[in-house]
Structure 1
Amino acid sequence: MTQGREGNAARWIDLEGVVNMRDVGGLPTRDGGRTAYGRLIRSDNLQDLTDASVTRLVGELGVTDIVDLRSETEMHLTGPGPLREIESLTHHHHSLVETRPTDDVAATMASALVVHPAAPGTRDADYWTAHYRTYLDRRGPAIADALAVIAGARGAAVVHCAAGKDRTGTVVALALDVAGVPHDVIADDYALTALRLPAIIERLMAHDFYGDTLATQRPSDQIPHAETMLAILADLGERHGGTRAWLRSRGWSGGDVEQLRTRLVD
């Protein structure tokens, strides 16, 4: 099951300062419903938003909560950003990057942008699946906390990392799974980022701390494949009984899970 071109086009949010922002509303659920617009927005880094973009994000789009999945190093190097000045916004930091006290900037950027020892051309769907599995195994509390923010947001919640692909893709996929979106539709949404990949890379390359890291890779190694997300969701089912059961193992009650589901559907 895939979304038509028209449906996907309506979900992209084009703001000056970001290149990979879209609403996850309008997706079908297994019970015949749809995910709601204006509840969950996924994005790349928000540091470069213009004043006009900030006004639209908060006013027209009704954003109240920002979930930042980046490392503390990334946040420090990019600065606070324009959204920190908006009093109506609540900021939440739940990093999916596991860092150690001995890590330098290069090591942190390599983890953030998923640069590990692998020959060019070997970063296929299986490679990314293995990497995303480490998010679940090592940063489970951060993922659960990010999902809790989405469930309790007063308005729209924006979840973002640097590119809006790997860390953001994982958190959003789990949210959509709880909402009852079929796995193939979730995987298609994840893979949509490929349409914006050239712009994402160009934007990140403008920053030395990302550019130096990306210079060691081929752009094709960063392409998101639907198979990757299908495998992650299947892995959750096989090892944990699915996303809802995984959240229950993290201390969520049945009511907590239902709150997230109802928050995301019409």
Structure 2
Amino acid sequence: MNKSTLTAAILLSAAVSCGKRSDTPGYAGEDLSGKVTVSRDREEKTAVLTVTLPGEWELYAGAAPETIDLSAPILTGSGAGSYTLPVPAGTRSYFQFETGGNRAILAERQLPMSGGFNMRDLGGYRTSDGRHVKWGRIIRSDDLHSLTNEDLAYLASIPVKTVADFRSLQEVRAMPDKLSPQGMTYVGLPITPGSLDDLQSYIAMTPEEVEAKMEWMNVYFATSDEGRERYRELFRLLQETDDAAILFHCSAGKDRTGMGAALILYALGVPEQTVMEDYLASNGYLAGKYSRYAERFPQLKGMLEVKPNYLSAGIDSIRTAYGSVETYLREELGADIGKLREFYLD
């Protein structure tokens, strides 16, 4: 850690010396995406700030984005470095980073699940018109079967109130979700293709056949009656209320969930390049989850990862049939674009 440039601010004394701030948390100035990030260790859940920018900066914190305390920074620093943050490990915090005239709201992209690999907040993405997806409202994930009590307590602190599960009934029976005893509404939205129960059928395929099957599967997600019905229900859930987080998932959190996340980001006006980057990020997060399968069956590599052409196959099929993704979202999935952006954009 870069301790020479780090000053831990004592909240009480800083509040007295600096006084109250009149503004509210938000974004301003230069886009800080990728230049300053927060991450948490999956096991210990400790939070770390990584800065790649020069100049002096301040960091503020709160239990929710709208309640970030701007009266006193929890940390100040100068220049690049990594800094352990003095916030609780067991509950989620949100941060406002300020440097010069620039500021941004931050939280960890990958939620720190000891029993999960690919649970990610869709918050913080910048839209084409300069707004940002709200943190702590839409979460994509792999299965919840192995979550620990500490993991569930962390999700409850967000709070996650609705869980939408794209796994098949067979997958659900074999590995049921673990849900918070503090209350989560479970909604089953089974989409059959994409199940890891199909693993045996992929073993007999050539790598080219595996890739072709993955492309077909993404077309199925987007255009089949089953796929459209399930994603229609996902958008209905998103449009019901924005007062708590919704988490949607499948087994790996990369295919059925990957298409769902892409459709949501398109609806919110996130640029296509960012949509693809979010989709491809599963490869990094899932590296440790299926490594034993990849080592034993190298021909399965194309099935255990995501590639640009997989998602593109589904999105291209939408554009061919409907002219645009937005038309598909409105006409087939019942997406109220205006309401979604009102609910989920800062």
Higher helix share: 1
Note the C-alpha offset of 1:122: 4.6
Higher strand share: 2
Q: In the alignment, which of 270, 273, 280 is matched to residue 191 of structure 1?
A: 280
Q: Which residue does the alignment assign to 1:31?
A: 129
Is 1:47 the counterpart of 2:145? The answer is: yes
Rounded Cα–Cα distance in structure 1 between residues aligned with 2:318 and 2:145: 33
Task: Please list the CA deviations of residues 92-147 of structure 1 after superposition, one character each: whole Å capped at 9, or x if unmatched.
Answer: 11112169xxxxxxx98118x994863135544x6533220111222211111112
Q: CA 1:77–1:221 in 2, change beyond 3 Å: closer, same or farther?
A: closer
Q: Which residue does the alignment assign to 1:208?
A: none
2:342 alignment partner, SS class = helix
Q: CA 1:142–1:34 in 2, change beyond 3 Å: closer, same or farther?
A: same
Q: Which residue does the alignment assign to 1:245?
A: 327
Is 1:63 the counterpart of 2:160? The answer is: yes
Rounded Cα–Cα distance in structure 1 between residues aligned with 2:203 and 2:235: 27
Structure 1 gap segments, 5+ residues each: 100-106, 206-210
Between 1 and 2, higher relative CO (CA 8 Å, sep ≥ 6) is seen in 1
Q: In the alignment, which of 192, 199, 216 is matched to residue 130 of structure 1?
A: 216
Equivalent positions of 1:79-90 (< 5 A) are 79=176, 81-83=177-179, 86=181, 88-90=183-185
Task: Please list the CA deviations of residues 61-103 of structure 1 after superposition, one character each: whole Å capped at 9, or x if unmatched.
Answer: 2111101000111111113x330x635211111112169xxxx
Rounded Cα–Cα distance in structure 1 between residues aligned with 2:231 and 2:201: 17
Note the C-alpha offset of 1:223: 2.2
Q: Is contact 1:121-1:221 (8 Å) kept?
A: no
> Runs ≥4 in structure 1, deviation > 6 angstroms?
none
2:286 alignment partner, SS class = helix
Q: Is contact 1:183-1:230 (8 Å) kept?
A: no
Q: Which residue does the alignment assign to 1:219?
A: 301
Rounded Cα–Cα distance in structure 2 between residues aligned with 1:221 and 1:168: 15
Report sequence identity in percent: 24
Q: In the alignment, which of 170, 184, 190 is matched to residue 95 of structure 1?
A: 190
Note the C-alpha offset of 1:184: 0.9
Q: Which residue does the alignment assign to 1:119?
A: 206
Q: Which residue does the alignment assign to 1:164?
A: 253
Q: Which residue does the alignment assign to 1:103?
A: none
Q: CA 1:45–1:259 in 2, change beyond 3 Å: closer, same or farther?
A: same
Task: Please list the CA deviations of residues 189-230 of structure 1 after superposition, one character each: whole Å capped at 9, or x if unmatched.
Answer: 00001102322215xx6xxxxx7xx95843354221234334
Q: Which residue does the alignment assign to 1:20?
A: 118
Answer with 1 or 2: which has the greater Rg.
Answer: 2
Q: Which residue does the alignment assign to 1:72?
A: 169
Structure 2 gap segments, 5+ residues each: 1-32, 40-107
Note the C-alpha offset of 1:37: 0.5
Task: Please list the CA deviations of residues 222-266 of structure 1 after superposition, one character each: whole Å capped at 9, or x if unmatched.
Answer: 22123433443343223213333113333627xx33222322211
Q: Is contact 1:147-1:171 (8 Å) kept?
A: no
Normalising by structure 2, report the TM-score. Answer: 0.62
Rounded Cα–Cα distance in structure 2 between residues aligned with 1:74 and 1:180: 33
The AA in structure 2 aligned to 1:237 is R
